[in-house]
Amino acid sequence: MKETVDKAYEIFSKYRADQPLDVCTDCCMKVEDEGQLASLPLRQIPVDLLSEYNDSAKPERTRIEEVKYFLPRYLDLISEYKFPTHSSELSFSRLIPFDKTEWTEKELELLKNFSTDFFFQTLQTYPVPSFNDRIDTILIMFWRADFDIFSLLKVWEQTDTLQSLLHFNELYFHGFNEHNRSELFSGFGDKEICNILTNWIENEKTKKTFEERIETVILGDFDIDERTLNELNLLYEIIRTEKKNAL
């Protein structure tokens, strides 16, 4: 992860953020804070200051040079689960709308590598080490900024760890609206990503993969709390029942 972040600082080092920044200084961000943000060494920008910038009123489209200048610091903080925003799903709001023609091949490759590396890192860590975040909020964060969610789901299929399984269990039971599974729990997730995650969960390959992993955990000697173990047992039965009904 550190190598990817360091590469971002290197690739985007040619960009500058000239004042005035694309941020509201009438009522959202103090002029002094804007000046500090623009003058501090990039690696030293604190998460609170970048969050203030990120969450303040802004034009529909931030100048691309400004986006690219601050981007390495965004990636740096996000890699440590210090999301520069009030809600992690909005971490990359400055990238929106995303136009691939404004990015070089190296820059696009860096973004892809970051999403893959960060998602893989998250699949090795449970729970997500930031307040009130889960795997679904991470996926929504990438989805909203036009990252390739399908490639991340492939990474998930290939990551056979206890933590990865616990994230799957949590997505199934807590990632959706408990009264309507056609909606995600997070209000930042739209119908399209909800359908993608639903179809992925219900895919026969996905069910077979995680059924086998649940069985291994249930029969093994793993340090899991009783509530989670009960959920895994229930999920195992749900998957098996769905497979039988599909025959």
Q: How far apart (Å, rounded) are the C-alpha atoms in residues 105 and 110?
A: 9
* Whole-number pLDDT of residue 246: 67
Check residue 221 and give its pLDDT.
84
Yes or no: say if 83 and 130 are a contact pair by the CB < 8 Å rule.
yes
pLDDT at 242: 84
Per-residue pLDDT, 28: 86
Q: Where are the alpha helices (DSSP H) in the chain?
A: 2-11, 31-39, 47-55, 64-79, 105-123, 135-144, 149-158, 162-174, 191-202, 204-219, 226-246
Q: What is the pLDDT of residue 26?
A: 85
Spell out the per-residue pLDDT of the chain, length 247, in tens: 999 999 999 999 999 998 899 998 888 889 999 999 999 999 999 999 999 999 998 889 999 999 999 999 999 999 999 999 999 999 999 999 999 999 999 999 999 999 999 999 999 999 999 998 999 999 999 999 999 999 999 999 999 999 999 999 999 999 999 889 999 999 999 999 999 999 999 999 999 999 999 999 999 888 899 999 999 999 999 999 987 776 5
**pLDDT of res. 64:** 96
Ranges of each domain in the chain? 2-202
